[in-house]
Amino acid sequence: MSSAVHEFAHLENWHWLGLQIRCALAPDEPRLIEHYLAQGRYLARFTPTSSWSVAHGTFRLMLATALDQALPWHWRSLCLDQAWRPLRDLRNCAAQPAQVRQWQDCAHQLARCELLPSIPLTDLLQGYCDE
């Protein structure tokens, strides 16, 4: 298998895992997050995909998922609890001043993150008022 095909297969798997996390397709399967993080580490280490882009994408995904009030509370909390891991990776690979500033911005966002309650499922299932 060529290097490009190898990278593409792992990148596609990483993106699929990320989609499952972002949409809470398996909110009762916390190992999904660990699998996603492990796939990202593999990409950063064994493919040409940069460590910075993997860590930054992972952090953005975890934070966006945590802040999405339409998702179950326990899933959002779990994603927030794991957001420090890609943030640590960002700090470790920040080599340029712009990357250091981005890392600081991410750290600030995580420090100031406030989880609002999730929207109750009954509210999500409601239709339009005129129905």
The verdict on residue 39 lying in a domain is: yes
pLDDT at 131: 52
> Cβ contacts of residue 93 below 8 Å, gap of 6+?
51, 52, 55, 99
CA 32 to chain centre: 11
Is 41 within the bounds of a domain? yes
Asked if 44 and 51 count as a contact pair (C-beta separation under 8 A), the reply is yes
pLDDT attached to residue 36: 98
Within a domain: 76: yes
Q: How many domains does the chain have?
A: 1
Q: Could you tell me if residue 55 is inside a domain? A: yes
CA dihedral 29, 82, 52, 91 (to 10 degrees): -170
Q: Does 129 reside within a domain?
A: no
The three-state secondary structure class of 115 is coil
131 is a domain residue:
no
**Is residue 87 situated within a structural domain?**
yes
**Which domain does 44 fall in, by range?**
3-124
Decide if 112 is inside a domain: yes
CB 21 within 8 A of CB 33: yes
Supply the pTM of this predicted model: 0.87
Count of other CB atoms within 10 angstroms of residue 120 = 9
Per-residue pLDDT of the chain (131 residues; tens, 9 = 90+): 566 666 788 899 999 999 999 999 999 999 999 999 999 999 999 989 999 999 999 999 999 999 999 999 999 999 999 999 999 999 999 999 999 999 999 999 999 999 999 988 766 666 555 55
